[in-house]
Structure 1
Amino acid sequence: MSNNVRHKVFITYHHADQVEVNDFITTFSDERNVFISRVLGVDMEESIISSTDTDYVMKRIRELYLKDSTVTIVLMGKCTWARRYVDWEIQSSLRSGNTLTPNGLLGIKLPSFKSGTNFPNRLNLNLKQNDQQVDCYARWIEYPTRKDTLANAIHNAFLARTSKTNLIVNPRDRFVNNRSCQ
């Protein structure tokens, strides 16, 4: 991989992790130039997409935020798995069709991620299960400390968009409401 390739990355997260998300974007997008960030801000959700029709909401997310991104990063904190928008944004990222290439998918544990915390289910469906010897579509990494570690993980997710689309697991059902998380 050429280290000066900057992919456009859509970032999905739980608003409770906003400070860590901002730090991640500042460090790796703004200062270290690893990627170009596309993110749906916590204060923007209601104003942009005010509908109870989840198909419409997902269509708007794709049109407004995912359209020019090539990789989706799931920044995982304590309750990310419980947020319906995370589920919807991952599902929308994984959609494919005649004129639609899915985004690569990469999970990253935030520093506050605790052992025993769940991954978002739709991300988990696209990861290896129980040490299977088969390949999978998505990957996850610990919070990166090096620019090249993150750049390589993003680039590998980018490559999966065309080489591993047959491995995508993206069921039609989706969260209707946020789940409870303590």
Structure 2
Amino acid sequence: MPRSVFISYHHGNDQGYCDSFRNIFCNDFTQIFTDRSLQNSLDSEDPTYIDRTVRERYIHGSSVTIVLCGYETPFRKYIDWEISDTLLYNHALLALILPTCESTYNFATNQSGYRLPQRLQDNVDSGYAHTVLWTPDHVFMRAAVEQAINRKSFAAKRNTRPHMQRNSSRRGW
């Protein structure tokens, strides 16, 4: 059964990765993935309208949101909102770590990781969201999506943070 995916990403930096994902998975393997993502930006400056439209027309009806995690992803308000809306619908959440994603290291726990949007990190920590590294391997990606869908049935989602009100800069991190 094909899975309907919503792809959340930073359009300015990660459009090439999104295009590549669509070409590999959504165009060539339509029996696996159906892309429900925005193909073009919405013609509006009203953030409430944009949030509602994306939630009702694109995220609603999808099986999973795949967040393409790159260098600027943690600082983008619309990505935060799309993750929140995904959780409102109890959809699966998959973090796809791009080569541009910043690595982190926690000296207290002696663990390495990646700098993710805070709401996404909350759900990785709870076990609700699944994380994988970028790959063009369709067999691996199909398994990753299925694992993300299975995780949501046994882990608690975390969606208590207020929505980001504006994009933040890396300097404030």
Superposed CA RMSD: 2.0
Residues 52 and 12 (structure 1 numbering): CA distance in 2 closer, same or farther, change over 3 Å?
A: closer
How far off its partner does 1:50 sit? 3.4
Within a 5 Å distance, the mapping from 1:123-162 to structure 2 comes to: 123-128=120-125, 136-161=127-152
The number of equivalent residue pairs is 160
Q: Name the TM-score, length of structure 1 as normaliser.
A: 0.79
Identity across matched positions, percent: 31
Within a 5 Å distance, the mapping from 1:49-64 to structure 2 comes to: 49-53=44-48, 56-64=49-57
Question: Which residue, out of 163, 166, 172, partners 1:174?
Answer: 163
Runs of 4+, deviation exceeding 3 Å: none
Q: Aligned residue for 1:104?
A: 92
2: distance between equivalents of 1:122 and 1:172?
7
Q: Aligned residue for 2:101?
A: 113
Q: Name the TM-score, length of structure 2 as normaliser.
A: 0.83
Question: Match of 2:8, as an amino acid?
Answer: T
Q: Which sections of structure 2, spanning at least 5 residues, go unmatched?
A: 105-113
Question: Match of 2:36, as an amino acid?
Answer: R
1:84 paired to 2:77: yes
Question: Match of 2:14, as an amino acid?
Answer: D
How far off its partner does 1:67 sit? 1.6
Q: Aligned residue for 2:107?
A: none
